[in-house]
A and B are shown apart, each in its own frame.
Chain A
């Protein structure tokens, strides 16, 4: 927003950073680069991610391990080429020690590959949730303190089949790595129970016109599982609502995220009752979540009505970094060996439950089954239905068998 406040904030920010950089010697500083999607379909989630990082840094007053933390944010647009270019700028020009990010699934895979070529920098994932970022061919300096898209669907397939009695489901999904993981997680349980998925409609990320997709949706299904995010979700739900669609809906983790629920439009009526699953639940009763929400609302009156999962994930990643820095007293020597060891053994008390890492530096997390509901003020929120604790990357199945089933993609899993 090009208004007075943001100009002042930016000017103050630049002055503060330059002041800090001039006054603080290099050895007393930790430079952190933040990669968030500030353009394109995920611009709103991207803004919330930066708020999450800001909250975590404010918690520790931008100091950890005895060193002051400087944050440099770079905007991307969910495309793999752009995120690697920005990461290179952060590493080669700004000389950051740690990078927090990226946000989108395919960005995560590209950054994982890039991280292998810069062993001197530690990468802590922001919110990118494709499976293959850590499941196959992981990078030794890439840490993910959150679940992946598959883990986030734990419990949804079974609940949809057993409780909601949806036996035939059509899927509308974005065509890249993260939705493949979400569809995989859903279909693992759903197909195992005997559910059928007669149609899977894949749309490119950033699609604006869903008329052909809506026309192709089969009419003999019990529900439609929508795995779109950001502005794509808003656009699809609006057009589906305008086309007079009546089917029951289920959403992927980012389809009913706060960044979508805060948007205005007649589609809001359609969203109420939408089943979903993910890393957060807006009315979670835990004290950590409640204080996180209160903090968010106090610090960001212009933010979303409640923190999104992106704020939650970026907050957790930054908190993990500050905790590990405190543990090793800011020791980043020897290719950050002590710091990385601390990260690997860390259990982070995130707003949505404890997160610890497995052998591939992938998070083992609690997953929340939710349903969209409306509160007394007319705001939409994700009501908690069920919590599944300690979900790992293979959903409890043996790792070899899981890997042998093959990569999640357009054609796998399949149960027509």
Chain B
């Protein structure tokens, strides 16, 4: 597993700190913060795939359920639910998403590969259909709208700079968490599970429990993304947990590169940029074609995703150094 060069990490941190000072609020909220939010959900998928070998299409459903739970327990414009103080509602919403993740892992524990993908997709679609048709909890097709983000003191968490700081900060924390977890015994066993779960079982590990725990952790991460998504949009509707939304998360994860957890955020940034500006740069009616074409190009020519481009820098550096060394040795008589 390649480690990103530290200079690049510092560059990214510096850029993220400078962004609020340089760019207008539209960019803060609708590009960077939104990329962080969808990146967090994609991170949960990328984590399960890269370190667990399991592609779960139910991550958006976990995020959506947490968002619905949070909306149900917040003051909203649809007249649904019981408003609770937001820290309590937040804890309950995150628990809902985590428990859903664990349940998904439990149902999918005996499958692997493409069958696991199909099973998790079916679970995700089940959640979508239920949300679309249930009136009492989900408000059916209209969804729950008019949800206000919580206020901390005078700050509304929905305002551009607080939301940017919150989402980028949480994204960074979750990235650190993932990088830490994969080095713990749990994480190493998870990678053993990815490589061969039968061998792991033969060694005495409880493979099913491991899978459920990994799914629960992914569910927790997706829930964080889901609640942030709710605060960003101010509403949640079945369209946000549907097939297109679930596929978008997969596209984001692949676009950014599945080899490193940070790829999820690179992919999210590229995707959000495409989605926002494609209608201005391309035919208004065909912007989905542009996104699909970019996805195809990345899959064909950049197998490590967009983040793989950073390898280009170190490759160039090495190439230059080798060349220089070669020239030196050939020039000495």
The residues of A with any CB-CB pair to B shorter than 8 Å are 2, 6-7, 10, 38-39, 73-75, 77, 79-82, 84-85, 88-89, 92-93, 106, 109-110, 113-114, 116-117, 137, 175-177, 204-205, 409-410
Taking the closest CB of chain A, its distance from the CB of B233, in whole angstroms, is 6
**What A residues does B310 contact at CB under 8 A?**
none
Report whether A117 and B285 are in contact in the complex, using a CB–CB cutoff of 8 Å: no
Beta-carbon contacts of B148-162 to A below 8 Å, as 1s and 0s?
000000000000000
B60 within 8 A of A: no
Taking the closest CB of chain A, its distance from the CB of B103, in whole angstroms, is 24
Report whether A84 and B285 are in contact in the complex, using a CB–CB cutoff of 8 Å: no
B142 within 8 A of A: yes
**What B residues does A75 contact at CB under 8 A?**
279, 284-285
Report whether B234 and A410 are in contact in the complex, using a CB–CB cutoff of 8 Å: no
Report whether A177 and B142 are in contact in the complex, using a CB–CB cutoff of 8 Å: yes
B: number of interface residues (CB 8 Å): 31
Contacts known (A110-B145, A113-B77, A177-B141); A6 close to B283, Cβ less than 8 A:
yes
Interface residues of B, dominant DSSP: helix
The residues of B with any CB-CB pair to A shorter than 8 Å are 25-26, 29-30, 77, 129, 132-133, 135, 140-143, 145-146, 233-240, 242, 276, 279, 283-286, 288
Report whether A110 and B237 are in contact in the complex, using a CB–CB cutoff of 8 Å: yes
Nearest residue, chain B, Cβ from A136: B79
Report whether B145 and A410 are in contact in the complex, using a CB–CB cutoff of 8 Å: no
Taking the closest CB of chain B, its distance from the CB of A203, in whole angstroms, is 10
Complex: how many Å from CA A82 to CA B286?
Answer: 16
**Number of contacts between A and B (CB, 8 Å)?**
85
The residue among A79, A81, A110, A116 with the most chain B CB atoms within 10 A of its own CB is A81
Report whether A81 and B240 are in contact in the complex, using a CB–CB cutoff of 8 Å: yes
Report whether B283 and A10 are in contact in the complex, using a CB–CB cutoff of 8 Å: yes
Report whether B234 and A80 are in contact in the complex, using a CB–CB cutoff of 8 Å: no
List 10 contacting pairs A-B, 8 Å CB cutoff, sorted by A.
A2-B283, A39-B288, A79-B238, A80-B237, A81-B143, A81-B237, A81-B240, A113-B77, A113-B234, A116-B146
Name B135's contact: one of A2, A79, A409 (CB within 8 Å).
A409
Report whether A113 and B239 are in contact in the complex, using a CB–CB cutoff of 8 Å: no
Report whether A38 and B133 are in contact in the complex, using a CB–CB cutoff of 8 Å: no
Contacts known (A113-B145, A175-B141); A84 close to B235, Cβ less than 8 A:
yes
Report whether A205 and B141 are in contact in the complex, using a CB–CB cutoff of 8 Å: yes
Report whether A109 and B142 are in contact in the complex, using a CB–CB cutoff of 8 Å: yes
Name B141's contact: one of A6, A74, A84, A176 (CB within 8 Å).
A176
Report whether A38 and B284 are in contact in the complex, using a CB–CB cutoff of 8 Å: yes
Nearest residue, chain A, Cβ from B148: A117
**What A residues does B145 contact at CB under 8 A?**
80, 84, 109-110, 113
Report whether B283 and A106 are in contact in the complex, using a CB–CB cutoff of 8 Å: no
Name A114's contact: one of B135, B234, B240 (CB within 8 Å).
B234
Taking the closest CB of chain A, its distance from the CB of B137, in whole angstroms, is 15
Complex: how many Å from CA A85 to CA B142?
Answer: 15
Taking the closest CB of chain B, its distance from the CB of A206, in whole angstroms, is 10
A82-B239, A84-B235, A93-B26 known; 16 new pairs, CB 8 Å cut-off, are A2-B286, A6-B283, A10-B284, A77-B239, A79-B238, A79-B239, A80-B145, A89-B276, A92-B25, A106-B141, A106-B237, A110-B235, A114-B234, A175-B141, A177-B142, A204-B133
Taking the closest CB of chain A, its distance from the CB of B158, in whole angstroms, is 9
| The 10 nearest A-B residue pairs measured at CB | A79-B239, A176-B141, A80-B237, A113-B146, A81-B237, A92-B26, A81-B239, A113-B145, A106-B142, A113-B77
Complex: how many Å from CA A332 to CA B248?
Answer: 40
Complex: how many Å from CA A410 to CA B141?
Answer: 12
Complex: how many Å from CA A85 to CA B239?
Answer: 12
Contacts known (A80-B235, A85-B233, A204-B132); A175 close to B140, Cβ less than 8 A:
yes
Complex: how many Å from CA A106 to CA B30?
Answer: 23
Report whether A80 and B143 are in contact in the complex, using a CB–CB cutoff of 8 Å: yes
Taking the closest CB of chain A, its distance from the CB of B79, in whole angstroms, is 9
**What A residues does B132 contact at CB under 8 A?**
175, 204
Report whether B30 and A93 are in contact in the complex, using a CB–CB cutoff of 8 Å: yes
The residue among A74, A137, A204, A410 with the most chain B CB atoms within 10 A of its own CB is A204
Report whether A81 and B235 are in contact in the complex, using a CB–CB cutoff of 8 Å: yes
Complex: how many Å from CA A38 to CA B286?
Answer: 10
Report whether B237 and A38 are in contact in the complex, using a CB–CB cutoff of 8 Å: no
**What A residues does B141 contact at CB under 8 A?**
80, 106, 175-177, 204-205
**What B residues does A7 contact at CB under 8 A?**
283
Nearest residue, chain A, Cβ from B286: A2
Complex: how many Å from CA A109 to CA B26?
Answer: 24
Name A176's contact: one of B77, B140, B285 (CB within 8 Å).
B140
